[in-house]
Chain A
Amino acid sequence: MEDSDCIVIMGSNMAENHPVAFRWPMKAKVQHGAKIIHVDPRFTRTSAVADIYAPLRAGSDVAFLGGLIRYVLESERWNSDPFFKSWVATYTNASTLISEDFRDTEDAAGVFSGLMAYKGGMPEWPFNGFTNEYDGQSWQYARGAVGDQGRSASSAQSGEASSTQSGSKEPLKRDHKGPPYDDIVEHLLQPAPDRDETMQHERSVLQIVKRHFSRYTPEMVERTTGCPQATFLQVAETLLANSGAERTSSFAYAVAWTQHTNGVQIIGACALLQLLLGNAGRPGAGVMALRGHASIQGSTDVPTLYHSIHGYMPHPSALKEHDSLTEYLTGETLPTGWWANMPKYVVSYLKSMYGDAATAENEFGYDWHPKIIGDHSHMAMFAAMNAGRVKGMLCIGQNPATTLNAKLDRAAMRKLDWLVVKDNWVHETATFWKNAPEISNGEVSVADVGTEVFFFPATQVAETDGTFTNTQRMLQFHYKAVDAPGDCRSDMWFSYELGKRLKRLYAQSDELRDQGLKHLTWEYEHEDADQRARGEPSMLKILKELNGYYSDDPSRHVGGFVDLKDDGSTTCASWIYSGCYPAPDKNLTARREADAPGVRGAQLNWAWAWPANRRIMYNRASADPSGRPWSERKKWVWWDETQGRWTGYDVPDFPATKPPDDQPKPGAVGMDALPGTAAFILKPDGMGWLFVPSGLVDGPLPTHYEPVESPVNNPLYKQQASPVIKYWKDEANPLAVVGDPQYPHVITTYRLTEHYLSGAMSRWLPWLNALMPELFIELSPELATEKGIANLDWVRITTPRGAIRAKALVTRRMRPFVIDGRRIHQVGMPWHWGYEGLSTGAVVNELTPLVGDPNVSMHEGKAFVCNVERA
């Protein structure tokens, strides 16, 4: 970001929530005059230092981004500067043709072709939350024969939507069961999609995109978002002026984009815009996701998430043709692009699970691996728990008593037989049976809560070794400085200890269902005798399993994912982490060598980033199609003719010796099937997708839908909200109807610099708590006057889910919006409080509904409706 010329922060309050990351935009601003643009419902500390602040109503992001896309596509500069044409034609799918059957929202009153009632799912699991779904068949590329283009690299699909099955190929009839799997990959090859290099064909992606966004005019942006046209145009002009061969712009977003029922589409709109502007794979470009937790990237890479196994590979699912490893690989492998290597990664993963018991004969233990049977995400699980279908919960470093319709969550937890909480603080979840509001006010009696509850005290960061993966995919090792007090143990200790005990309990079992656990490799004894005596596992042994090693000689670590094989000779849990620990004495994640000051570089000797220590992904795009840097100023990775290889400041994210003019070989698979210009190597066509033919369940192009709860009708389309959202119907989860006069105001929730999440890591710390000691609601003086509320008055906030109290902070930083001719008030509340800690306050998430994005089951906490009155 330090290299950016313009940084658009949208869907994020970067200065408040990532102050240290914000160092770099500020450096860019002070040192080379980069423009910072903040687009946000509230005037925040980020807005305070931005060059342009554009206000918008919470939940109208796609309308704003759609407006920017239209502005760019219609602008003279974009249509005349050769950079954009060259970039878009070479690196994006702009010239690819889409199926004749595709119907856009323009033609179908706000929905795409293929909408139908939900019919997926299994009777065992009625908690998928879907009402409708799309059959994405008509969104595919047009090619000789219609077929599946496969998934995107970071596929969010978990299989509940039945449409994801469409287009999968007939399983290959194979004469052998095990490896090699090359035959499967070759079998999956399809004819190349149809293209029109002039990008003028009416079914070409560029023309479809142009038509799709034609209604997102500046007037419409103002009507929908409430952002004044002049401000919007200022943003658009600044962004365009700072994109091109010489200049790059970047976007930063956070949960204010993801916590929407169309969160994935908001991000998609941004990606589309950045691809149009050539802001990808280049220094100072891109879309930066600012994630909230120390290792949230790590917990996605190493998925403590139900829908995927290591390295973004889909979890085997009973909803797909995954009955055998062969079928799984047939369904999930992409024949072209990097993902053609998937069989190697899956087999190495299974070897990491079951060790020597995983053989070619038993498909590496594939049958032992569980399959998901539906949506087992956070909200679905709480819906199931509330229905009495979940008996036990292991809650480690999380505080669900304060999240997402918290009252429903706590009611669900009262139905558990047992709950294990492992945390650093006795937080709201640990005492949900004791101190929750419904217990304090007598609604529920403590004696009636039949849950057996455990609290295990945890270590703090300096009391254990371990690795965090930051938001830039960087693995950083940290060391233990002191022993933890009392019975505090690391979280690794807990899992390791529990595993050891369970393996003992099942040691005598011969049942098929227990074979996976019996064969699970589970040897992480610490090297140090003291730590071994405490029962702490060895972090290095765990890291080694993530990195990978040779199955026949575990002391030999693999050097990276290129070493992985599909025959079981390599064991590697996480292909993307492969290379982080390439030799027993080389833990690259522990490196702390910075580049010399003043030297341009990518800090390659500081820790280790996946994949293969690359700092900018898809960085082939930082060079033009012929391999030369787009400009001296934005030089990063380029083709060195004399050496015959890619070189530069970073590790090239491309086959090192594949020349820029390389052409795909007929019938080839993997990277050989792509040309030397295919910068987006994880995509099967090697291109950045403006139009997303597969991988998304709610449409191939971003479309403005209103949040599920909104005070206004969708100004853009007849369709009010996304037709395929997830909603868990429950009497404790009611929704307000559009324009409900009982709940006239938009409410958004957010975090403060001074606190962390539910406050579990901040409300016990005097230094932090004193800085923001009480829960408050921010509201404009206009609304305060209307309601007779003075600063610091107690205010009662109600939504269909509940009512809470908070102190008023009346400020002109909040403003009323005029939406579609109506004045709409908006209020905001930080959600850091609960009933434990040095300062207590209402649980703001008692207000939020359980509704979710259909792709990723992400909830909508950033825009819903409420009423406020003086308490």
Chain B
Amino acid sequence: MNLNRRDFLRLSAGAGSGTALGGLLSAGVNLAPSLAAAQELRIKDAKTTPSICPYCSVGCATLVHTSNGKIINIEGDARSPHNEGCLCPKGAAIFQLHVNPNRPTQVLHRDPGATDWEVWDLDRAMTRVAQLVKQTRDETFIEKAENGKLVNMTSAIFALGGATLEIEFNHIHQKLMRGMGIVAIENQARI
């Protein structure tokens, strides 16, 4: 592995004095002086908000640093007994979940048969969704089954989702669905 070309050098004329100066150079450790250049810590004046990683189920604690209403940094919370400040690559990338040019911020609507989206107002969209839910519920509701049992339900509306979401969502969502008689409630836990 190590080459014999060094031997070649040793034979050559200038090498003797070269070694002396080379030795001086290498003994000098570092020729440039040591410096301390004061650094600006970019979260110095930031507000810190405790948060939790939204990816897998380990529940790593994070700290969100904000400045002027903008997120500037998200890193692990070293106090947490789950992660002691560690994060996986996804957890380390939470910042880009928030600050990301690919992120949608408007309500989109597509009419049956339409070839593209249309941007809708939030209120208009909610009004329409509530109407559709009511209409479908009313059309498909089963009060009593064929065998005479009281069931008070509809299976024509499917409520899907929840495993990456807060328990508060899970609670009020399933409460609303069951309150309306919608029983087909599922989330990722089963897939």
In the complex they form, whether A and B have CB atoms below 8 Å apart is answered with yes
Q: Which residues of B contact A856 (CB under 8 A)?
A: 190
Partner of A478, one of B51, B152, B191: B51
A545 within 8 A of B: yes
Residue of B117, B143, B175, B190 touching A573 (CB-CB under 8 A): B175
Which of A18, A457, A477, A498 is B133 in contact with, Cβ under 8 Å? Answer: A498
Nearest CB of A to B102, in Å? 5
Q: Which stretch (A136-144, A279-287, A750-758) binds chain B?
A: A750-758
Whether A505 contacts B158 by the Cβ 8 Å rule is no
Interface extent on A, as a size class? Answer: 35 or more
B98 A296 Cβ-Cβ under 8 A:
no
**B106 in contact (CB, < 8 A):** yes
Is B151 at the interface (CB under 8 A from chain A)?
yes
Question: Are the CB atoms of A373 and B151 closer together than 8 Å?
Answer: yes
Q: Is B110 an interface residue (CB 8 A)?
A: yes
CB distance from B58 to the nearest CB of A (A): 5
Given contacts A391-B157, A447-B115, A450-B113, contact A296 B166 (CB under 8 A): no
Report the separation of the CA atoms of residues A521 and B133 in the bound assembly, to the nearest whole angstrom.
19
Contact A377 B175 (CB under 8 A): no
Give Cα distance in the complex from A468 to B51, angstroms: 10
Are B59 and A123 interface neighbours, CB within 8 A? no
- Complex-state Cα separation, A483 to B64, whole angstroms: 13
Given contacts A378-B186, A424-B97, contact A353 B155 (CB under 8 A): no
Please indicate the chain A residues that have their CB under 8 angstroms from the CB of B145 in the complex: 122, 124, 318, 373
Interface pair A470/B98, CB less than 8 Å apart:
no
A237 beta carbon closer than 8 Å to chain B: no
Q: Which chain A residues in 14-50 approach chain B with CB under 8 Å?
A: 17-21, 23
Point out the residue from B47, B92, B132, B160 that lies within 8 Å of A400, measured CB to CB.
B160
Interchain CB contact under 8 A, B57 and A294: yes
Binds B, one of A213-221, A362-370, A807-815, A862-870: A362-370
B167 with A475: CB separation less than 8 A: yes
Chain B residues contacting A757 (CB-CB under 8 Å) are 188
Interface residues of A in 295-311 (CB under 8 A from B): 295-306, 309
Can you name the residue of chain B whose Cβ is closest to the Cβ of A24? B82
Q: Is the CB of A124 within 8 A of B158?
A: no
* Chain B contacts with A in 128-157, Cβ cutoff 8 A: 128-134, 136, 139-143, 145-147, 149-153, 155-157
Residue of B nearest to A521 (CB): B175
**CB interface residues, A 611-658, toward B, < 8 Å:** none
Query: Across the interface, do B160 and A394 meet the contact criterion of CB distance under 8 Å?
Result: yes
Determine whether the beta carbon of B150 is less than 8 Å from that of A20: no
A418 to B156, CA, bound (A): 11
The interface residues of chain A lying within 8 Å CB-to-CB of B141 are: 513
Mask for B148-188, Cβ within 8 A of A = 1, else 0? 01111101111111111111111111111011111111111
Residues facing B in A440-469 (CB within 8 A) are 446-457, 460-464, 466-469
Question: Which of B47, B83, B176 sits near A495, CB closer than 8 Å?
Answer: B176
Are B161 and A298 interface neighbours, CB within 8 A? no
Question: How many angstroms between the C-alpha atoms of A584 and B190 in the bound complex?
Answer: 35
Contact B185 A480 (CB under 8 A): no
Q: Do the beta carbons of B155 and A293 come within 8 Å of each other?
A: no
What are 27 residue pairs bridging A and B, where the CB atoms are less than 8 Å apart in the complex? A292-B57, A293-B188, A298-B166, A304-B159, A370-B183, A373-B153, A376-B183, A391-B156, A392-B157, A396-B159, A398-B162, A404-B191, A434-B110, A451-B112, A460-B98, A462-B74, A462-B98, A470-B82, A488-B105, A492-B169, A492-B172, A501-B127, A513-B141, A539-B168, A542-B172, A753-B90, A767-B93
Q: Chain B: residues with CB nearer than 8 A to chain A?
A: 47, 49-61, 64, 66, 69-71, 74, 77, 79-84, 86-94, 96-98, 100, 102-117, 120, 122, 125-134, 136, 139-143, 145-147, 149-153, 155-176, 178-191
Other contacts beyond A370-B153, A446-B114, A452-B132: 10, CB < 8 A? A370-B152, A396-B165, A400-B160, A420-B129, A461-B51, A482-B98, A502-B176, A505-B130, A516-B152, A592-B77
Minimum-distance CB pairs A-B, first 10? A470-B59, A486-B105, A466-B166, A304-B162, A370-B153, A396-B161, A471-B57, A520-B179, A481-B49, A293-B163
